Homo-oligomer: A and B are copies of this chain.
Amino acid sequence: MLTALSAVSDPVRIKLIRDLAGSADWTRSCGSFDVPVGKAALSHHFSVLRGAGLVEQRDEGPRRVNRLRREEFEERFPGLLALLLRDDGAVAAE
Protein backbone atom coordinates (compact mmCIF):
# COMPACT_ATOMS: atom_id res chain seq x y z
CA MET A 1 0.00 0.00 0.00
CA LEU A 2 2.80 2.39 0.84
CA THR A 3 4.52 1.23 -2.32
CA ALA A 4 1.52 2.16 -4.42
CA LEU A 5 0.94 5.49 -2.73
CA SER A 6 4.59 6.47 -3.07
CA ALA A 7 4.61 5.39 -6.69
CA VAL A 8 1.73 7.70 -7.33
CA SER A 9 3.13 10.70 -5.46
CA ASP A 10 5.30 11.91 -8.29
CA PRO A 11 4.30 14.37 -11.02
CA VAL A 12 6.19 12.55 -13.76
CA ARG A 13 4.60 9.22 -12.91
CA ILE A 14 1.14 10.74 -12.68
CA LYS A 15 1.59 12.15 -16.15
CA LEU A 16 2.70 8.75 -17.42
CA ILE A 17 -0.37 7.13 -15.90
CA ARG A 18 -2.71 9.70 -17.37
CA ASP A 19 -1.18 9.51 -20.82
CA LEU A 20 -1.29 5.76 -20.62
CA ALA A 21 -4.93 5.86 -19.57
CA GLY A 22 -5.73 7.87 -22.68
CA SER A 23 -4.18 5.32 -25.03
CA ALA A 24 -5.03 1.79 -26.02
CA ASP A 25 -3.16 -1.09 -24.38
CA TRP A 26 0.25 -1.92 -25.82
CA THR A 27 0.33 1.11 -28.10
CA ARG A 28 2.75 3.32 -26.19
CA SER A 29 6.48 2.71 -26.10
CA CYS A 30 8.46 4.09 -23.19
CA GLY A 31 9.98 6.83 -25.30
CA SER A 32 6.63 8.07 -26.58
CA PHE A 33 5.76 10.10 -23.50
CA ASP A 34 6.35 13.81 -23.31
CA VAL A 35 7.97 14.12 -19.90
CA PRO A 36 10.84 16.47 -19.02
CA VAL A 37 13.35 13.84 -17.93
CA GLY A 38 16.09 11.88 -19.62
CA LYS A 39 15.59 8.30 -20.67
CA ALA A 40 17.46 6.90 -17.69
CA ALA A 41 15.11 8.60 -15.25
CA LEU A 42 12.17 7.57 -17.40
CA SER A 43 13.28 3.96 -17.21
CA HIS A 44 13.45 4.32 -13.45
CA HIS A 45 9.90 5.70 -13.27
CA PHE A 46 8.55 2.80 -15.28
CA SER A 47 10.34 0.45 -12.96
CA VAL A 48 8.59 2.05 -9.99
CA LEU A 49 5.20 1.84 -11.69
CA ARG A 50 5.85 -1.79 -12.52
CA GLY A 51 6.81 -2.48 -8.91
CA ALA A 52 3.55 -0.97 -7.75
CA GLY A 53 1.60 -3.19 -10.10
CA LEU A 54 0.25 -0.26 -12.03
CA VAL A 55 1.90 -0.90 -15.35
CA GLU A 56 2.82 -3.96 -17.38
CA GLN A 57 5.48 -4.04 -20.06
CA ARG A 58 6.15 -6.23 -23.05
CA ASP A 59 8.92 -6.31 -25.60
CA GLU A 60 7.80 -5.71 -29.13
CA GLY A 61 10.73 -5.84 -31.44
CA PRO A 62 13.14 -3.10 -30.48
CA ARG A 63 10.59 -1.24 -28.39
CA ARG A 64 9.07 -1.92 -24.98
CA VAL A 65 5.37 -1.19 -24.99
CA ASN A 66 3.20 -0.54 -21.96
CA ARG A 67 -0.22 -1.25 -20.60
CA LEU A 68 -2.10 0.17 -17.65
CA ARG A 69 -3.23 -2.67 -15.37
CA ARG A 70 -6.60 -1.15 -14.65
CA GLU A 71 -8.49 -4.14 -13.29
CA GLU A 72 -5.64 -5.49 -11.17
CA PHE A 73 -4.93 -2.11 -9.68
CA GLU A 74 -8.59 -1.41 -9.02
CA GLU A 75 -8.88 -4.66 -7.12
CA ARG A 76 -5.91 -3.96 -4.89
CA PHE A 77 -6.49 -0.24 -4.40
CA PRO A 78 -10.12 0.57 -5.14
CA GLY A 79 -10.72 4.09 -6.32
CA LEU A 80 -7.09 5.12 -6.49
CA LEU A 81 -6.74 4.99 -10.25
CA ALA A 82 -10.02 6.83 -10.71
CA LEU A 83 -8.75 9.51 -8.36
CA LEU A 84 -5.58 9.96 -10.39
CA LEU A 85 -7.43 10.22 -13.66
CA ARG A 86 -9.95 12.77 -12.54
CA ASP A 87 -9.40 16.45 -11.90
CA ASP A 88 -6.99 17.29 -14.69
CA GLY A 89 -4.76 20.24 -14.03
CA ALA A 90 -4.68 19.73 -10.29
CA VAL A 91 -1.16 18.36 -10.52
CA ALA A 92 0.38 21.30 -12.32
CA ALA A 93 -1.44 23.67 -9.99
CA GLU A 94 0.46 22.48 -6.94
Which of B1, B14, B80 is within 8 Å of A94, CB to CB? B1
Q: How far in angstroms is the closest Cβ of chain B from A30?
A: 23
Closest to A3 in B: B94
Check if A11 is an interface residue, CB within 8 A of chain B: yes
Give CA–CA (A63, B88) in the complex, Å. Answer: 40
Q: Which of A11-55 contact B (CB under 8 A)?
A: 11, 14
Give CA–CA (A78, B5) in the complex, Å. Answer: 15
Question: Contacts of A82 on B, CB cut-off 8 Å?
Answer: 78-79
| A residues whose Cβ falls under 8 Å from a Cβ of B | 1-3, 5-6, 8-11, 14, 77-80, 82-83, 86-87, 90-91, 94
